[in-house]
A and B are shown apart, each in its own frame.
Chain A
């Protein structure tokens, strides 16, 4: 069964360092998303992406964040200068153009900022 894959599964970084989280969405999907979940809190929307541009972003997604689809398969989230409060599980999701609108999520990348 097709699935969304994310790497790395866990990354530990020092405050102020740049981090890139990678995602391979399901192959025929055209809408891509990043969400995050701080430990013990709700899953929160960060950004949606379609046709090589950001469609919508939340108030969390400030200038420190960026997304890119560098090739036909990868979708990346970059955090330019990490802060302690960026520590969270980051989820990538995708869905197809037609169909039910169901979102499919990856297993997540756990980011720990020290």
Chain B
């Protein structure tokens, strides 16, 4: 049982490049979400999904796209990377009223 797996763990992008952060869970959780955490700050919700085919925006969705074609996967796409998107990105999943399981994070630097 791997839990929530995020790849890559580290990434450096140039301004304007695009990339996809991967998130996969093997717990059959219907709820998945993406958060970003800037240095010394709390978590901010980017996008979330309540099931396959359903996504919605969080607090800071601009510059990011998501899709949920399967229950297991919830990739986060950066369309045109900007230095302001330098952050640590966490994916989380949950089932029902249960607690979230978080991934170990992706540290992204945009230069």
Q: Do A and B originate from a single complex?
A: no
Task: List chain B positions with a Cβ less than 8 A from chain A.
Answer: none
